[in-house]
């Protein structure tokens, strides 16, 4: 007896899209296909998915949920709501909280809070260095024992190549992944936006594209040296795409993600000097935007990750150079990718669910719908127009408010349960 039947939609399977009904029971997909018996009266719910697309629940490799320490911006509960409202069933929480997640008990705190909230899987990541100070190694064994597989000092670069080498050597046997925020501190030079014609004319200190590529190039030599899995967080430049492509051709264990806003806006948006366009890495040139889109389409860039970075309105509504970095993205991510790229639905779910789940080692997420698979699913209306206006996130620092996007999220299923419907948590 099914709990839910998703009727009449397009199901994205490993063999491509099919028109079929999806039967969900006992946290798994029980059956897929037309002709299955209809749900008995009162025993389950039939959800009309005519015209809708059913795929694996989205997986975000990169979110900032601000808990513990900055709960006025976001917390695990509000972040979970934002996630499911955007069609995500698993999100990785960056460790740059206060305190930073650099030991096992802190990682367990995140997992425990995720389970308490129960809307989606919030998966802790761990710091590479203790207190994210860039000086000594974090408690990597404790973190690994607590289930952490992705290690990052996101927000800052591990600038010391010797220290990064030791982290890689340590993690390679533990199947850990190093996710690098690539920004050479010297070349970044305190910049507030992409260094180029626009920053030059506005008189704002620029952050050169080479601040990213020099770190990626350096790190790739360490990957060659150690064999550790390596992931470029929020790739923003054409140069990084070229480096990743060459590294993959060489056979290095390297992956990369791109943030939706880097697929949509260029540094031209900063001419308004509106801090809603301030994020790190900064919005780059139109040429970078196009190369990132191509890289995502060809698969050189494996995944889309939001870099969801909430900030309270009063923190962001200041002069551009004084504003904190980052924008929220969970609730608009798929719509932005759908609008900004030529990817079809299958490719979008590959880059936003299947590949990120593989990179993070998540067995229960990112599986193409099939009988017996965990029922972590997302249903989208891929071709409808939609204008974001309100958010579940505690913060509203989104550059997409009021813009017309395609592909509004409809129904997220987490472990077999519809968790979100009509703008609120499903009871």
Partner 1 sequence: MSFLGIEGHDRADLEVILDLADEFTEVLNRPIPRVPALQGKTVAHVFYESSTRTRLSFERAAKALSADVMNFAPGGSSVSKGESLKDTVLTLKAMGPDLMVVRHGSAGAPTRVAAWTGLPVVNAGDGAHQHPTQAMLDSLTIRRRFGKLDNLRIGIVGDIRHSRVARSNVAAFTTLGADVVLVAPRTLLPVDSREWPVTLSESLDEVIGDLDVVYLLRIQAERGGASVFPSLPEYVSRFGLTNRRFAAMNPEAVVMHPGPMNRGIEIADSVADDERALVLDQVANGVAARMAVLFWLLGGERSG
Closer of 1 and 318 to partner 1 (Cβ): 318
Report the alpha-carbon distance of residue 389 to residue 381 in Å, rounded.
17
Stretch that binds partner 1, among 165-173, 198-206, 250-258, 290-298 (CB under 8 A): 198-206
How many CB atoms lie under 10 A from the CB of residue 132? 22
Q: Are 82 and 67 in contact (CB under 8 A)?
A: no
Spot the catalytic one: 184, 307, 383, 422. Answer: 307
Of 127-135, 180-188, 295-303, 320-328, the segment contacting partner 1 by CB under 8 A is: 320-328
How far apart CA 157 and CA 155 sit, in angstroms, is 7
Q: Which of 98, 249, 314, 427 binds partner 1 (CB under 8 A)?
A: 314
274 is annotated as an active-site residue: no
Least separation in angstroms between residue 289's CB and partner 1 is 17
Q: Is residue 199 near partner 1 by the rule CB under 8 A?
A: yes
Name the residue nearer to partner 1 (CB basis): 159 or 205.
Answer: 205
What is the sign, positive or negative, of the torsion defined by CA atoms of 105, 106, 108, 109? positive
Contact map string, positions 158 to 197, toward partner 1, x by CB under 8 A: -------------------------------------xxx
Residue span binding partner 1 (CB under 8 A) among the ranges 128-136, 163-171, 201-209, 220-228: 201-209
In three-state secondary structure terms, 221 is helix
196: closest CA among 145, 111, 270, 265? Answer: 270
As a dihedral over the C-alpha atoms of residue 245, residue 303, residue 92, residue 206, rounded to 10 degrees, the angle is: 60
Q: Among residue numbers 215 through 274, which ones bind partner 1 (CB under 8 A)?
A: 273
Give burial (CB, 10 Å; 0-12/13-18/19+) of 325.
middle
Least distance in Å: CB of 312 to partner 1?
12
Q: Which is nearer to partner 1, 45 or 317 (CB)?
A: 317
Verify binding: residue 427, partner 1, rule CB under 8 A: no
Query: Cα separation of 326 and 345, whole Å?
Result: 27
**Which active-site residues does the annotation give?**
307
* Contacting positions for partner 1 (CB under 8 A): 195-206, 273, 314, 317-322
């Amino acid at each position: 007896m099914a709990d839910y039947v998703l009727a009449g939609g397009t199901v994205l399977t490993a063999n491509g899209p099919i028109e079929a009904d999806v039967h969900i029971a006992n946290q798994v997909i029980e059956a897929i296909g037309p002709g299955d018996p209809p749900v008995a009266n009162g025993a389950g719910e039939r959800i009309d998915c005519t015209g809708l697309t059913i795929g694996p629940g989205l997986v975000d490799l990169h979110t900032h949920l601000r808990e513990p320490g900055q709960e006025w911006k976001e917390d695990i509960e509000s972040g979970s709501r934002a996630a499911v409202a955007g069609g995500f069933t698993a999100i990785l929480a960056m460790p740059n909280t206060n305190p930073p997640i650099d030991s096992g008990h802190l990682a367990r705190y995140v997992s425990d809070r995720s389970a308490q909230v129960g809307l989606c899987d919030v998966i802790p990541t761990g710091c590479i260095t203790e207190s994210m100070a860039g000086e000594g190694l974090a408690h990597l064994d404790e973190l690994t024992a607590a289930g952490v597989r992705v290690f990052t000092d996101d927000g800052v670069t591990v600038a010391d190549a010797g220290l990064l080498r030791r982290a890689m050597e340590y993690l390679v046997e533990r199947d850990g992944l190093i996710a690098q925020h690539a920004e050479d501190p010297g070349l970044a030079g305190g910049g507030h936006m992409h260094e180029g014609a626009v920053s030059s004319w506005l008189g704002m200190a620029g952050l050169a594209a080479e601040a990213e590529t020099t770190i990626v190039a350096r790190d790739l030599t360490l990957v060659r040296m150690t064999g550790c899995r390596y992931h470029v967080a929020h790739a923003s430049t054409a140069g990084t795409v070229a480096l990743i492509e060459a590294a993959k051709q060489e056979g290095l264990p390297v992956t990369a993600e791109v943030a939706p806003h880097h697929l949509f806006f260029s540094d031209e948006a900063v001419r308004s000097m509106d801090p809603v366009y301030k994020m790190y890495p900064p919005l780059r040139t139109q040429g970078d935007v196009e190369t990132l889109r191509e890289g995502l389409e060809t698969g050189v860039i494996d995944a889309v990750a939001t870099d969801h970075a909430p900030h309270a309105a009063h923190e962001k509504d200041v002069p551009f150079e004084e504003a904190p970095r980052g924008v929220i993205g969970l609730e608009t991510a798929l719509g932005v990718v759908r609008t900004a790229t030529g990817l079809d639905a299958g490719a979008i779910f590959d880059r936003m669910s299947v590949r990120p789940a593989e990179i993070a080692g998540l067995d229960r997420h990112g599986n193409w719908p099939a009988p017996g698979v965990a029922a972590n699913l997302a249903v989208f209306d891929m071709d409808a127009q939609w204008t974001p206006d309100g958010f579940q996130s505690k913060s509203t620092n989104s550059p997409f408010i009021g813009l017309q996007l395609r592909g509004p999220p409809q129904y997220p299923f987490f472990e077999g349960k519809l968790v979100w419907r009509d703008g609120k948590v499903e009871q």
